[in-house]
Amino acid sequence: MSARDLSIHNAHPRLRLDKKAVARVITILDEHRAKFLGGCPGGELSLAFMTDAKLAKLHGDFLDDPTTTDVITFEGEPAFGVAGEICVSADTARAYSKSNDKDFSEELTLYVVHGWLHLAGYDDLQPAKKRKMRAAEARAMKLLHAASAIPAFTLRN
């Protein structure tokens, strides 16, 4: 797969990120797609970093559930060159990382990985499928750590 068109949108007013570092995450996942059910389909991929409020609105508008969530993935139309869109909540990542003594940048990167895996065909709604998703997440994060490719995200108060 050649380098895909990647649109990265930071819709969180207090989040700071390096778009090149985030793009590298997607590039590494794409390069190792054979390890993940063939990977996210080819084509343009959109990645949006959002607040809890913005993601909850999407959750309500498209999935009839107005609660906050960590990741929402919209499948694209690969036949038209669109892989899909991954929307992640920086607020949820921060809250989870604080309450579980985890690194914020790693948690937010995990949300990006999770969305990419959904587009690759992984599901987490049933226990057996959820175990496969978690194993794939662990493999992907290991690849990213080995490449020193976890972006440095900061979320100002």
Q: What is the DSSP string of the chain?
A: -PPPPEEEEE--TTEE--HHHHHHHHHHHHHTGGGTTT-SPSSEEEEEEE-HHHHHHHHHHHHS--S--SEEEEE--GGGTEEEEEEEEHHHHHHHHHHTT--HHHHHHHHHHHHHHHHHT---SSHHHHHHHHHHHHHHHHHHHHTT-----EE--
Write the pLDDT tens digit of every residue in 127-146.
Answer: 999 999 999 999 999 999 99
**pLDDT greater than 60 at residue 2:** no
Is position 155 within any domain? no
Is position 104 within any domain? yes
**pLDDT greater than 50 at residue 156:** yes
Is position 73 within any domain? yes
Is position 1 within any domain? no
**pLDDT greater than 70 at residue 1:** no
In which domain, by residue range, is 76 found?
Answer: 6-148
Q: What's the pTM?
A: 0.96
Is position 24 within any domain? yes
**pLDDT greater than 90 at residue 100:** yes
Contact 140, 117 (CB under 8 A): yes
**pLDDT greater than 90 at residue 157:** no
Q: How many domains, in total, are found in the chain?
A: 1
Nearest to 114 by CA among 56, 70, 66: 70
Is position 156 within any domain? no
Is position 153 within any domain? no
Q: What is the CATH number of the domain that holds 72?
A: 3.40.390.30
Give the mean pLDDT of 88-113: 98
* Cα 5 to Cα 30, 47, 80, distances in angstroms: 12, 11, 13
Nearest to 17 by CA among 75, 84, 93: 93
Q: What is residue 3's predicted lDDT score, i.e. its pLDDT?
A: 74
Q: Average per-residue pLDDT in the chain? A: 96
**pLDDT greater than 60 at residue 73:** yes
Rounded to an integer, what distance in angstroms lies between the CA atom of residue 139 and that of residue 120? Answer: 14
Q: What is residue 142's predicted lDDT score, i.e. its pLDDT?
A: 98
Contact 27, 40 (CB under 8 A): no
Is position 35 within any domain? yes
Give me the phi and psi of 90, to 5 degrees please.
Answer: -70, -35
